[in-house]
Amino acid sequence: MHVLTFGSTGLIGRYILVELLKHGYHVTVGCIRNRERLLSMLATHNYDHSLLSIVEGNVLDKEDVERSFASCSSFDAVISTIGEKPDCIGKVQSHGARLLFDAFKKFVKNVDCYFVLFAGSPILDVCEDANGLSKLFLHSKVLPDLWRPSGDEYLRVFDMVCSDYKEITWCLVCPPMVADKAADGVYEVARNVHPPSPG
């Protein structure tokens, strides 16, 4: 199996990359801005180095994105965890996702290839009233203002994928919280809604 990843040095992306390599998948890391940072991050992990290919570039540059997709004749999955700081000044998620989906349509010939995007919890439903009515976490009172710009970006990506890329098989994963620490094996899982806060 050959997987093309974007955002592989970020909080979520680095864990996904390590797990893919540890399980013996061939991985092409697309649009990596800093090869040394990536290799340093992987230095403490045991994996077959022949399974890793790196395509340097910027996810906001169409030629770099297309070069990443053109680097292999066939991918079985594409995983994007691209993101930026909470203020979302660069609009990396929405601009980058459009370039990724356009390149996917242009280059991916494997009809079974799956596109997996990671976004944040602001676009999940949350129930915050006694009548059981749901609304997007983004539109709730409890989402800190710091995360509203990224929530708007994730919602733009979701709306774009739903309206402009219906022919692509995709999945949007919205982890409510990802801690930068070792996994403890305890997870709260819910489908299409924000899980209740612990404690």
Secondary structure (DSSP) of the chain: -EEEEESTTSHHHHHHHHHHHHTT-EEEEEEES-HHHHHHHHTTS---GGGEEEEE--TT-HHHHHHHHHTSS--SEEEE-----TT-TT-HHHHHHHHHHHHHHHH---TT-EEEEE--GGGSEEE-STT--EEEGGGSSSS-GGGHHHHHHHHHHHHHHHHH-TTS-EEEE--S---SS---S-----SSBPPPPP-
**176-185 pLDDT per residue, tens:** 766 667 777 7
pLDDT on residue 127? 62
Question: In the structure, what pLDDT confidence band is assigned to residue 195 with cuts at 50, 70 and 90?
Answer: low
Between 198 and 172, residue with greater pLDDT = 172
Per mean pLDDT, which of 54-68, 89-103, 121-135 is the most reliable?
54-68
pTM of the model: 0.87
* Radius of gyration, alpha carbons of the chain: 17
Cα separation, 181 vs 193, whole angstroms: 24
Query: Does 28 have pLDDT greater than 60?
Result: yes
Walk me through the domains of the chain, giving residue ranges and CATH numbers: 2-173 (3.40.50.720)
Characterize the bridge pairing of strands 125-127 and 26-32: unpaired
Query: Does 150 have pLDDT greater than 80?
Result: yes
pLDDT on residue 128? 60
Give percent of the chain with pLDDT exceeding 70.
Answer: 86
**119-129 pLDDT per residue, tens:** 887 877 776 66
Question: In the structure, what pLDDT confidence band is assigned to residue 193 with cuts at 50, 70 and 90?
Answer: low
